Amino acid sequence: MARTQGSRAEITGPLIREAALRLFARHGYAAVSMRQIAREVGVQAGALYAYTPDKQALLFDLMQSHMARLLDSWRDDPAAPPLARLERFVRFHIADSLDHSDAVFLSYMELRNLTEENYRQISNMRRKYESGLELILRDGQASGAMQVEDSRLSAMALIGMLTAVTNWYRAGGRLDRERIGDVYWGLAKGSVGA
């Protein structure tokens, strides 16, 4: 019997994904076995293969789902002033990163464990998101509202700075999320010479 008695596919599939995400983020992809994921969910190891062909496919699915959700959630308004667009991006990225910290960690730390084809697909999705910020910076530079030497490098540096909030933020700490957004917006604005 592959499935634990009483388990249901519409519940077990999402539980497998949640457990894998949590375990990969906590211990690293290479250190987590399919048996550990099955144990966490409460199913036999063989049951996992009804939901995913292998561990690599599970990792790719988690990363692809995260990037698809991120791309679907972010909306730029090209008609707005570049500084307003940048502030919106900064606040969106911080909030989204804090809401999905395990997925963010996975997307940055486990790229090295993807197959070449899977890496290419995830990289293309990431590039699309990064290009949105790069466009804001180019528009800001063209309007004279921002001073950046290299829009691509500046976009990557800003995303790196914003994403790092997941490394240290703890709910209930000295600063609430809104104040963190204010501080990061000040840092971002200063970094583009605004």
Specify whether 38 is located in the same domain as 87.
Answer: no
Q: For residue 106, what pLDDT band results from cuts at 50, 70 and 90? A: very high
Q: Is the pTM of this model over 0.85?
A: yes
Q: Burial of 130 by CB count in 10 Å (0-12 exposed, 13-18 middle, 19+ buried)?
A: middle
168: phi then psi, degrees, rounded to nearest 5: -125, -20
- Could you tell me if 94 and 182 lie in one domain? yes
> What tokens were used for 171?
């709910």
The one-letter amino acid at 70: L
- How does residue 156 score in pLDDT terms, banded at 50, 70 and 90? very high
Model pLDDT, residue 3: 43
The pLDDT-based confidence of 13 (bands split at 50, 70, 90) is: confident
Verify that 58 and 41 share a domain, yes or no. Answer: no
Amino acid in position 17 = R
65 and 16 inside one domain: no
Q: Are 186 and 139 contained in the same domain?
A: yes
pLDDT band at 57 (very low <50, low <70, confident <90, very high): very high
With 0-12 / 13-18 / 19 or more C-beta atoms within 10 angstroms meaning exposed / middle / buried, residue 186 is: exposed
Query: Of 194, 187, 13, which Cα lies nearest the Cα of 90?
Result: 187
* One domain, residues 105 and 84: yes
Q: Which domain holds residue 165?
A: 54-192
Same domain, 114 and 165: yes
